[in-house]
Amino acid sequence: MPTVSEEAVLAALRKVADPARKADIVGLGMVSGLVVKGGNVAFAIEVDPARGQSLEPLRQEAERVVQALPGVTSATVVLTAHRAGGPAQPQRAPQGHAHAAPAKSPAPGIRSIVAVASGKGGVGKSTTAANLALALAAEGARIGLLDADVYGPSMPRMMGVRGKPSTPDGKTLEPMRAYGVAIMSMGFLVDEETPMIWRGPMVMSAIQQMLRDVNWGELDILVVDMPPGTGDAQLTLAQQVPLAGAVIVSTPQDIALLDARKGLNMFRKVDVPVLGIIENMSYFSCPNCGHRTDIFAHGGARREAERLGVEFLGEIPLDIAIRETSDSGQPIVVSQPGSPHATSYRGIARRLLEKLAPAGARRAPPKIVVQ
Ligand code: ADP
């Protein structure tokens, strides 16, 4: 199989012109972050934020010419906008339109998209997203898992999947599959060791592509593992992906430090319903004797949720078994389905399914008949 060189990619891109500036995108210095790994090519095109979406045809053309090169199996091109000399600027809704309806679903076969978010990294958001996706699947729902945590994609490892997605038609990617769940992650497209610097708009563009260009098929729920935190990239994502709702994962400490509240406020600002809060690492479960020890500030999430009028969905203990199973690619919901922790995740999954069911599908309350 022939391999492709960076020079060959750049030579091909010299034939792609920016229509407004009437010069090629390489000569204009718009191509950045070129990564060639085997047959996989990825790069960004830097554009003026004001022109943003109007350059989608340019992005597609760049992708097409690179895809056509011998030895290229996949081409991933993202648009990134930045102000000369200034920090990256996300695409914001215009003033006064912060509550505009989300964009049309980029994936028509998906019934509901649910974000799993956290106020900061390291609280167990990805672990929770993986186990929740598996618990929802175990309840009989058709589930996809989109790893939008492009800064540190962990789904390939947690779900125990390796390899590269195939693209039978050369346009869309087939999702990877594990335990009956369809999965897509940047981790499948680039090496885990490849350092990636993502600017806000680039994150959005990569995520939009993973939604739009992946053959998700028919799904009841697509679980999105969000990038951690509540910065511009997360806000843009919450604004632009048509989310049915969000689940906030927090640790007792994190809620005490107000980080989780930031996550909540972010979704409220863009009118995405917060389906509830999960307290992770809620208490310590001793691996030897099973003894339960409460952690400082345990219960904070429940109190905070009550105070804020958000449902408290449940608590998951700090248990080495949860870490070991997800580190080894066999999350606890599938590897120890009878365990109390798997049962907790299943309980949360059932509650989410109830909350997401269309109004007509909800079971009618029992009628009281007075005789
Ligand atoms: P985040 O996505 O919030 O950055 P991760 O899901 O990657 O966090 O979790 C961070 C680390 O904590 C991982 O090593 C994970 O296995 C571990 N972890 C997450 N939740 C638990 C838990 N309930 N018990 C024990 N370890 C956990």
Reduced 3-state DSSP string for 288-332? CCCCEEECCCCCHHHHHHHHHCCCEEEEEEECHHHHHHHHCCCCH
Q: Do residue 32 and residue 73 come from a single domain? A: yes
The verdict on 172 and 38 lying in the same domain is: no
| CA distance linking residue 34 with residue 51, whole number of Å | 22
In a domain, 188, yes or no: yes
Each residue's pLDDT expressed in tens, for the chain with a length of 371 residues: 678 998 999 999 999 999 888 899 999 888 876 777 777 777 778 777 677 667 878 988 998 999 999 998 877 777 665 433 333 333 333 333 333 334 445 578 999 999 999 988 888 999 999 999 999 999 999 999 999 988 788 999 999 999 889 888 888 889 999 999 999 998 887 766 665 666 666 777 788 888 888 999 999 999 999 988 887 778 888 888 889 999 999 887 766 556 667 888 889 888 899 999 999 887 776 667 767 666 655 677 788 888 888 999 999 988 889 999 999 999 999 999 999 999 999 999 999 999 998 654 544 455 555 55
Torsion of CA 327, 224, 136, 140, to 10 degrees: -120
Number of domains in the chain: 2
Whether 326 is covered by a domain: the verdict is yes
Do 164 and 237 fall within a single domain? yes
The answer to whether residues 300 and 259 belong to one domain is: yes
Atom 27 in ligand 1: residue holding the nearest Cα: 323
Reading the block at residue 19, the tokens are: 């229509």
Whole-number pLDDT of residue 199:
64
Please name the residue whose Cα sits nearest to atom 15 of ligand 1.
323
Is the residue at 96 inside a domain?
A: no
Do 335 and 203 have their domain in common?
Answer: yes
Ligand 1 nearest atom to the CA of residue 149, by list position: 2
Quote the pLDDT of residue 43: 77
Ligand 1 atom closest to residue 324's alpha carbon, by position in its atom list: 16
Same domain for 116 and 153, yes or no, is yes
Is there a single domain that holds both residue 339 and residue 250? Answer: yes
In this prediction, residue 277 carries a pLDDT of 92
C-beta of 146 in contact with ligand 1 (< 6 A): no
Q: Let me know if residue 104 belongs to a domain.
A: no
- Structure token pair of residue 45: 């095109």
pLDDT in tens, 144-161: 999 998 878 899 999 999
**Residue 132, domain CATH:** 3.40.50.300
Indicate whether 103 belongs to any domain: no
Angle between helices 200-212 and 232-240 (to 10 degrees): 30
Give backbone dihedrals phi and psi of 98, rounded to 5 degrees, phi first: -60, -20
Whether 157 and 292 map to the same domain: the answer is yes
pLDDT at 31: 85
* Confidence (pLDDT) at 333: 98
Regarding the beta carbon of 125 and ligand 1, being less than 6 Å apart is answered yes
Per residue in 288-319, pLDDT (tens digit) is 776 766 665 567 778 888 888 899 999 998 88
pLDDT at residue 115, as a whole number: 95
Q: Does one domain contain both 72 and 123?
A: no
Q: Does 97 fall in a domain? A: no
pLDDT at residue number 82: 47
Q: For 156-188, give the DSSP string.
A: HHHTT--S----TTSSSBPPEEETTEEEEEHHH
| Closest C-alpha to 90, from 188, 227, 183, 185 | 227
Are the C-beta atoms of residues 148 and 186 closer than 8 Å to each other?
no
Q: Are residues 140 and 66 in the same domain?
A: no
Among residues 40, 65, 81, the one where a domain terminates is 81
Choose the residue to mutate in 223, 298, 323 for probing ligand 1, maximizing ligand atoms within 8 Å of C-beta. Answer: 323
Ligand 1 nearest atom to the CA of residue 130, by list position: 6
Is residue 69 assigned to a domain? yes
Is there a single domain that holds both residue 66 and residue 170? no
- Which of 64, 81, 98 is the C-terminal boundary of a domain? 81
Give me the pLDDT at residue 64, please.
92
Cα of 330 to ligand 1 centre, how many Å? 14
Ligand 1 neighbourhood includes 285 CB (under 6 angstroms): no
> Would 99 be classed as within a structural domain?
no
| Model pLDDT, residue 211 | 87
Last residue of a domain, one of 32, 63, 81: 81
Q: Are residues 55 and 117 in the same domain?
A: no
Q: What is the CATH number of the domain that holds 75?
A: 3.30.300.130
49-55, long-range: CB within 8 Å, 24+ apart, which pairs? 49/81, 49/82, 49/83, 49/89, 49/91, 49/201, 51/20, 51/81, 52/79, 52/81, 52/91, 52/201, 53/91, 55/18, 55/79
Ligand 1 within 6 A of CB of 244: no
pLDDT in tens, 86-106: 333 333 333 333 333 344 455
CA atoms within a 13 Å half-sphere pointing along the CA-CB vector of 27: 9
Q: Which of 127, 159, 325, 328 best tests ligand 1's pocket when mutated (most atoms within 8 Å of CB)?
A: 127
Q: Which domain holds residue 310?
A: 110-356
